[in-house]
Amino acid sequence: MTKNFFNNKSFKIFKKGEKYIPGLVQTFAKNPFQFSFGFSPIFLNKGKGCYVSDINGNKLIDTIMGIGPLILGYNNKIINKAIKSQINKGIIFSLTNPQEVELAEILNRETKFDMFKFSKTGADVTSAAIRLSRAYNGREKILSCGYHGWHDWSAASLKRNNGIPKYSKKIIQKFEYNNLKDFLNKVDNKTAAVIMEPIIFEKPNLKFLKTIRQITRQKKIVLIFDEMWTGFRLDIGGASKILNIKPDLVCYSKAIANGMPISVLGGSKKIMNLLDKDVFFYTTFGAETLSISSAIATIKLLKRDKVLQKINSRGENLIKNINKLINKHNVTSVSIQGYGSRFRFILNDKKNILKTFMHEQYLKNNILWNGIITLSYSHKNKELKKIIDATDKILKKISKHSLSELNYQIKGKLIKSRPL
């Protein structure tokens, strides 16, 4: 039976939302056209563990997890307790609060960076890192690899970059991940900072990363690791710890507080201390205590229960099983890339027919899927088995039909490509 994910109720709220909110959403990954419009749910309103409910009461296994933050899962008792206990004491104070120091001390112990500043969004801290780098070496050019947020300097390198001064567009250059030649062609003595996601999905080439570290050190360029995804997911100390490559500055957010809005800039004393001199980075809600207490409780739990080792090993097992199924059904248009707790499906189809088909089929199996599987501690054997069973059925169908036949079975609109 076809489930009722999209109906009059959701369409009415969608129409009202479009009237009052440009594009309806606050972040592009939630845009209804990133799903199968006319078939998929648009609004979620409840979550427990790794399950979410849409506004029509459909319960789904979530494989998106708030686009990264929910490392433990929705509505976690221990984290809720920490937040509630802090609510009773105060959300924000007129002077600084000791928990800021406690969190900084924990981060120092766990990540081995010297000093930290707290803010709200990923873009806040990547932007602060860029400003610090420029102040440190007096240069302006940025080399970037990956996505780093919506602020001018970063969005200047995206496709959707209207409203940004020409200067910002000139001053940033992208280089390709694992392409050392591309990096070497672009790095020079005018470069202030190299900012990169140390691991995205592709397996990291150690020579590529180590050479970047070596050259940035030689040329006095600040190396910034954007560990928004990998920090507190791949390892508490992020990719930098796993790879044993230490950048000068590091940026964390997403999983660090299981969904509460906090981002962290960390780094070496000699650069970070410029924030107490003439580099300006201050924000009212940087010291908001609910997020800070949630981060402390999350990190303690990640450590106590060895959560990340467990998620990543479960995820590696899931990848192994999906790869077996791809081979079993001899599907050449689908492959997997990434690490246990976050991996993507590479689909050989530019029109998004496969992606839309798979998304709808996963929904029919009560799984919310957007092409990337982001796991949490709440995804246990039961849920992983459901994902494997659904994938088996979906790959079987893909193996038996042409793209146009699959397209014919799609109920909603084809998923739109991202403007990145």
Ligand X SMILES: Cc1ncc(COP(=O)(O)O)c(C=O)c1O
Residue with tokens 């648009």: 42
Q: Quick one: 62 or 226, whose CB is closer to ligand X?
A: 226
Contact present, 390 and 365 (Cβ < 8 Å)? yes
Euclidean distance between the first and the last CA atom of the chain, given in angstroms as a whole number: 36
Q: Quick one: 174 or 401, whose CB is closer to ligand X?
A: 174
Letter for the amino acid at 167? Answer: Y
Least distance CB 202 / ligand X (angstroms): 14
Least distance CB 121 / ligand X (angstroms): 4
Return the C-alpha torsion angle 415, 51, 122, 420, nearest 10: -10
Least distance CB 261 / ligand X (angstroms): 8
Least distance CB 132 / ligand X (angstroms): 16
Q: Quick one: 103 or 199, whose CB is closer to ligand X?
A: 199
Q: Quick one: 346 or 420, whose CB is closer to ligand X?
A: 420
Neighbours of 93 (CB within 10 A): 11
Least distance CB 228 / ligand X (angstroms): 4
Per the structure block, which two tokens stand in for 270? 């000699």
Q: Provide the binding-site residues for ligand X, judged by CB under 6 A.
A: 121-123, 126, 146-149, 197, 226, 228-229, 253
Report d(CA 300, CA 283) in Å as an integer: 26
Least distance CB 392 / ligand X (angstroms): 30
CA 322 centroid distance within chain: 22
Q: Count the alpha carbons within 13 Å of 83 in the hemisphere toward its beta carbon.
A: 17
Q: Residue by residue, what is the 3-state secondary structure of 142-173?
A: EEEECCCCCCHHHHCCCCCCCCCCHHHHHHEE
Report d(CA 246, CA 233) in Å as an integer: 17
- Using CB atoms, what's the residue nearest to ligand X? 122
Q: Quick one: 43 or 150, whose CB is closer to ligand X?
A: 150
Q: Quick one: 128 or 299, whose CB is closer to ligand X?
A: 128
